[in-house]
Every structure is written in C-alpha cells, then in structure tokens.
Amino acid sequence: LPRQPPSPPLLALDIGGTLIKLVYTASCGGGGGDAGGGAELRFAKFERRRLQECFEFIRAQGLVRYNGSTMGSSKENITLKATGGGAYKFTEDFREKLGVFLDKVDEMDSVVSGANFLLQNIPGAAFTHMNGKRNSVDISPNNLFPYLLVNIGSGVSILKVTGNRKFERVTGTHIGGGTMFGLAKLLTGCKSYDEFLQLSQKGDNFVLDLIVKDICGELVCQKQGLSTSTLASSFGKVITSKKNLTDYRPEDLASTLLSAFTYNIAQISFLVASILGLKRVFFGGSYIRGHKSTMGNISYAIDFWSQSQMQAVFLQHEGYLGALGALMSYGD
Ligand code: ADP
C-alpha cells in the first residue's frame, strides 16, 4: 500500500536586526510522521548577514516541503509564519531562494505569545538567578498576570502583559544589545558575541569604572555610610588616565561594557515596573544568551533598586520568544 507522506514540519522565523531565529517541529519517538510519537520543538539561529546559510539549513533539514512526485521535485507553494522587521525586507529573497511566502505576524504579538506559551506550558521554563543560584519559579495561571516583559534584542522593548494576547508596549530604548555589541566590536576587536562574553568573564570592570570610593576616598565614604564599591560612572576612570585604547585589555573593556549596559537596562526596567506597580519582570531576548553574570547583574540591580520588592525572572529559550509566538500563530 502506498504510504501516507509524513506531515511536513512546522517552521516559523523571527528575522531581527541582528539575528534570524528559527523554531521548528520535529517528530520524535514515532519514526516520523504524525502517527505515533509526539513532536518536539527545535531551535536554530543565524546572523542576519548569513541569510544564505539560513536558506541552506532550511533546505537541508527538509523544512520546506517538496512534493513527493517522481516527476521532478517541484516545491510546494507554502507559506511560513514570520515576524521581525526582516520578514518584510527579505520577502522576495525567501520567495526566490526557497519558493515560500512569508506570512507576517506582528512582532510584539509574537514576543508576548511566545513568553506566555513558555510560561504556561513548559514546566521549569522560568527561573531566577540570584547570587549565582538558579531557582525555578512556579507559575500558575492565577499568579502569572500582570507582568513586565523586557525583551533585550538589538534594541529593547518593554511590554506590560495582562493576559493571553493582552499587552501594551509601554516603552523601549535604542540603547540595547546592538549598541553594546557594536561598541564591543570596535573597542575589543571581538568577532562574535560568545567571544565577547568570554572576554568579559576574564575581565575586571574596575580598571575602567569609577566607583564611589575613587571620588570620595574610603574614609569619607565610610563616614557618610556610602558603599565604597558602588558604581559612580561606567568608563569614568578613563578620563583621568593617560592610557590609550590599546593600553586597556580587551577583557577589561568587555567586562566594563557588559556591566554598563546590563545595569542600565535593569535600572530602566525597574523604573518602568515601579511606575506600573508591577512586581515581576521577565527578561527575554538574545542579549541574555543564558549568560550567568548577565542574569546575575540584572537580578542584583532589580533587587537593589526595588529593595527586594521586585523579582527578575529569566526564561529558557529567551532569544526565541518572537519565533515561538510566530509558530503559535499557525493555530490561529
Ligand atoms: P534582534 O531581533 O533585534 O536581532 P535578538 O533578540 O536576536 O534581537 O538579540 C540580538 C542581540 O543579542 C545582539 O545585539 C547581541 O547583543 C546579542 N547576541 C546574542 N547572540 C548573538 C550572536 N550570535 N551574534 C550577534 N549578537 C548576538
């Protein structure tokens, strides 16, 4: 008997300013097809400038369905759900190279659906990261909303989420991951984001950062009850130093950049959450990259500014919220 062709995997894309994110389904446990076994989600990302590699991956993984006819393998005319600005910009490229049409899904809608999906369906997807310890956060449907969602990508979007598909984009900042990584490339010569994170791990930000003690002297600080190690000015020590850029270690520059941007974004998030009276702040976006000290610094800053009244919560697959949301929209 002729066998039924297996149902094609689902694929959704989020084509952002820096990265292309893919979320797709793969059947597991049942030997392919949708009979037996379930489907699992898989994740992949490409730098936006490597669009061709992304096309090759999609083809190689069989994510674009060819019709099984023996009379040549013409591609089926299929539609892929896609979000992010690049979904508009690259529509033609996808049509030409893969023969697929990109069905655009709103970016903020997608990010929120992706976050809500993770929070409501994946046990252990949400966790805190305080003092080097990771603890999963129990989310039940009646204690989830409202929350603040801070998506740190090339830029930063800050959303108030009050329910499934109910949200408002409150504000954002253009000083985000793109800014930090752009400066990192110029200042440290790093070639990749992971290399930048590794450099920062080995660096000391106090070589460049001005702390309260540097300004007041230790004695005055102690008298006035100021914490001596509080950051007064990121990169502030450079001004009074005779050093040139090449005199600084890339490791120290990376560490200073990461702490400057991370604390700044955390502080803005705290301020927005305070204005809105929200106690829980979820962080997403590829900026975080599961990096422990980034999460640690965000958690520390939120705890510090809120006097322990607010909690920073992180998500597994944090960089794929938009792509996940776009995948969810196949069900609409
Ligand atoms: P966008 O949708 O704007 O591309 P993302 O959520 O994908 O945003 O985050 C992009 C940011 O994440 C970059 O600006 C950088 O700070 C960081 N990042 C993480 N991984 C990478 C990577 N492999 N290449 C470049 N930037 C990365």
pLDDT per residue as tens digits for the range 46-73: 999 999 999 999 999 999 865 444 344 4
Grouping H, G, I as helix, E, B as strand and the rest as coil, residue 238 is helix
- Closest ligand 1 atom, residue 178 Cα: 14
Measure 287 CA to ligand 1 centroid, in angstroms.
6
For helices 193-201 and 250-276, angle between their N-to-C axes, nearest 10 degrees: 100
Alpha carbons 145 and 66: distance in angstroms, whole number: 42
Query: Nearest CA to 249 among 206, 298, 296?
Result: 206
Structure tokens at 319: 């960089």
Is the Cβ–Cβ distance between 209 and 236 less than 8 Å?
A: yes
Measure 185 CA to ligand 1 centroid, in angstroms.
13
DSSP state of 9: P
Structure tokens at 165: 């598909």
Q: Please, where in the chain does CATH 3.30.420.40 lie? A: 177-208+248-315
CATH of range 177-208+248-315; options 3.90.226.10, 3.40.50.2000, 3.40.50.261, 3.30.420.40: 3.30.420.40
- pLDDT computed for residue 93 by the predictor: 97
Nearest CA to ligand 1 atom 5: 153
Alpha carbons 162 and 167: distance in angstroms, whole number: 6
Alpha carbons 185 and 193: distance in angstroms, whole number: 9
Q: Is 101's pLDDT higher than 90?
A: yes
pLDDT per residue as tens digits for the range 153-186: 999 999 999 999 999 999 999 999 999 999 999 9
Length of the chain, please? 332
Alpha carbons 227 and 189: distance in angstroms, whole number: 34
Measure 19 CA to ligand 1 centroid, in angstroms.
6
ipTM summary value: 0.99
Alpha carbons 307 and 138: distance in angstroms, whole number: 22
Is the Cβ–Cβ distance between 272 and 170 less than 8 Å?
A: yes
- Closest ligand 1 atom, residue 285 Cα: 6
Band of pLDDT at residue 38, cut at 50, 70 and 90: confident
Residues touching ligand 1 (Cβ under 6 Å) are 16-19, 47, 84, 153-154, 177-178, 180-181, 193, 285-287, 289, 319
Structure tokens at 110: 């997608």
Report the residue among 175, 179, 193, 283 best suited for mutation to probe ligand 1: largest number of ligand atoms under 8 A from its CB.
193
Is the Cβ–Cβ distance between 252 and 260 less than 8 Å?
A: no
Give the lowest-confidence range in 22-36, 130-144, 287-301.
22-36
Is the Cβ–Cβ distance between 256 and 184 less than 8 Å?
A: no
Q: Is 28's pLDDT higher than 60?
A: yes
Nearest CA to ligand 1 atom 26: 193
Q: Please, where in the chain does CATH 3.30.420.510 lie? A: 11-107+322-331
Measure 170 CA to ligand 1 centroid, in angstroms.
22
DSSP of 125-154: -EEEEETTEEEE----HHHH-SEEEEEESS
CATH of range 11-107+322-331; options 3.30.420.510, 1.10.287.3510, 3.90.1420.10, 3.40.640.10: 3.30.420.510
Q: What is the mean pLDDT of the chain?
A: 92
pLDDT per residue as tens digits for the range 6-22: 667 899 999 999 999 99
* pTM higher than 0.90: yes
Nearest CA to ligand 1 atom 2: 16
Over range 199-219, report the average pLDDT: 94
- Alpha helices in 203-249, H assignment, sequence order: 212-216, 218-224
Sorted by sequence, the CB contacts under 8 Å of residue 223 that are 6+ apart come out as none
